[in-house]
Amino acid sequence: MASGSSDKGGARPPRVLIIEDNPNEARALHDLLVWNGFEVAIAPTARQGWIRLRSWRPDVVVLDLGLPDADGLTVCQAMKSNPQLRDIPVLILTGRSAIAQLVEGLRIGAEDYVTKPYDPREVLARLQARLRFGRRIASLKTYHLYWWNLLRAFIPSPIWQAMQKAPHEITGPARMQTLSVLAVAWSGLRERIQEAARNEGLPAGTLHQVFNRYLNLLYEGVQAEGGIPTPLMDGVVLAWFNASLSGNDHPIRALRAALVLRERIRRLHSELPPPLRLAPRWVLHRGTALVGLMGGSSYLHYTPTGEATETARRLAGLAPEGEILLTSAFYEVIQGLIPARPWTEAPPFIRTPLYVVSGIPVVAERR
């Protein structure tokens, strides 16, 4: 049984589901609420009330505890255990002698109560209070969801996961940590940008779309291995492994990310004309960095800073095009997993040994 009509502007009136087995009491409450602008449905049993809950989705439930087929507390508990129904406020109808049941109903999640016999003005006032509170909660949830989704657009997935599982890992004090760092420098990007800036040159929109395809491959590949990519800066993208998600296998994950990404970019090149093919320069390094939230009250950014990132960034522009360059610190921990040869073409001012991945690697893309 349902009654009521839409108010001005097409918005529906608030819905109230009455779960009450006494037909006289249910009808009296129904008429009171309809007269005061509510849309009302009556369910005389717990089973019918549950069906109405799922199909009609009321804004408030008025629940009698003495139902013929189930205890009203069972209905309330089932509602509060259901993610789709638990936010619907429950107003308990109970006799003055059923204090123990009333206390139990409030304990398991009911929002309010009215004792029989009730004053109609009290019922209306409590329903209106529940509806106002529900609207505030819905507004807060919408606001919360909006900003949460906005943050997700800018926060890398591993940091997002750490914020949900262990927020202290992000918000705690910065610490020195050993990292594996993958640096990717995009050879030819500067020239393509200069060409796009000239009249009759490469369309800027085309370059933007294609480069985003490169970056999308890079970011997805890094995050698939638990790494965190940084935004593009001076033609170089850094990704670090072992913070905020720690693990002793971070060199393996960094190496696997580089190998998989190199192969995926080779496949991408087969789809692009030569002017849009960018040759990445890859560097893998292992070292220590200060990791934590950097900045001030107006802006904070979770990032590493120190030897690990600076060394990888400097070497990225010097690496051979299309090849993966390993520093000696990185090569020491993955030696035997991948064939590599000394980089004999290194500039003379680089005094530390460097290696270039060669042959068929043992570490392969995850299936």
Shared domain check, 212 and 103: no
Lowest-pLDDT range of 26-40, 51-65, 133-147: 133-147
Sign of the C-alpha dihedral computed for residues 301, 221, 263 and 241 taken in this order: positive
* Chosen domain end from 152, 179, 202: 152
pLDDT of residue 151: 66
Shared domain check, 196 and 138: no
Shared domain check, 347 and 208: yes
Q: Are strands 279-295 and 175-187 parallel, antiparallel or unpaired?
A: antiparallel
Shared domain check, 91 and 198: no
* Rounded average pLDDT over 301-314: 90
Structure tokens at 357: 């991945």
Is it true that the peptide bond before 244 is cis, omega within 30 degrees of 0? Answer: yes
pLDDT band at 5 (very low <50, low <70, confident <90, very high): very low
Residue 140 has pLDDT above 90, yes or no: no
pLDDT of residue 8: 46
**367 within a domain of the structure (yes/no):** no
Shared domain check, 231 and 120: no
Is it true that the peptide bond before 117 is cis, omega within 30 degrees of 0? Answer: yes
pLDDT mean across residues, the chain? 85
pLDDT above 70: percentage of residues in the chain: 87
pLDDT above 90: percentage of residues in the chain: 46
pLDDT of residue 4: 45
Residue 162 has pLDDT above 70, yes or no: no
Classify each residue of 172-181 as buried b or exposed e, where b means 16 or more C-beta atoms within 10 Å of its C-beta: eeeeebbbbb
Sign of the C-alpha dihedral computed for residues 345, 347, 351 and 355 taken in this order: negative
* Rounded average pLDDT over 269-288: 92
Shared domain check, 178 and 118: no
Residue 1 has pLDDT above 60, yes or no: no
Lowest-pLDDT range of 26-40, 152-166, 272-286, 291-305: 152-166
Q: At CA 283, angle to CA 350 and CA 172, rounded to 5?
A: 110
**19 within a domain of the structure (yes/no):** yes
Shared domain check, 202 and 102: no
Comparing CA positions, the residue from 249, 253, 259 lying closest to residue 282 is 259
Total structural domains within the chain:
2
Shared domain check, 121 and 191: no
Shared domain check, 171 and 92: no
* Rounded average pLDDT over 235-244: 89
* Rounded average pLDDT over 164-169: 65
Lowest-pLDDT range of 62-71, 92-101, 127-136, 184-193: 92-101
What is the widest separation between alpha-carbon atoms in the chain? Answer: 97
101 phi, psi to nearest 5 deg: -65, -40
**366 within a domain of the structure (yes/no):** no
Shared domain check, 177 and 91: no
**365 within a domain of the structure (yes/no):** no
Cα dist from 109 to 75, 171, 232, whole Å: 11, 33, 49
pLDDT band at 7 (very low <50, low <70, confident <90, very high): very low
pLDDT band at 337 (very low <50, low <70, confident <90, very high): confident
Comparing CA positions, the residue from 357, 351, 313 lying closest to residue 335 is 357
Q: How far apart are CA 274 and CA 284, in angstroms?
A: 27
Domain extent for 237: 161-357
CATH code of the domain covering residue 176: 3.30.70.1230
* Rounded average pLDDT over 334-359: 88
Query: Whole-model pTM above 0.75?
Result: no
Task: Find out whether 177 and 288 touch, Cβ atoms under 8 Å.
Answer: yes
Q: How far apart are CA 96 and CA 118, in angstroms?
A: 10
Shared domain check, 310 and 211: yes
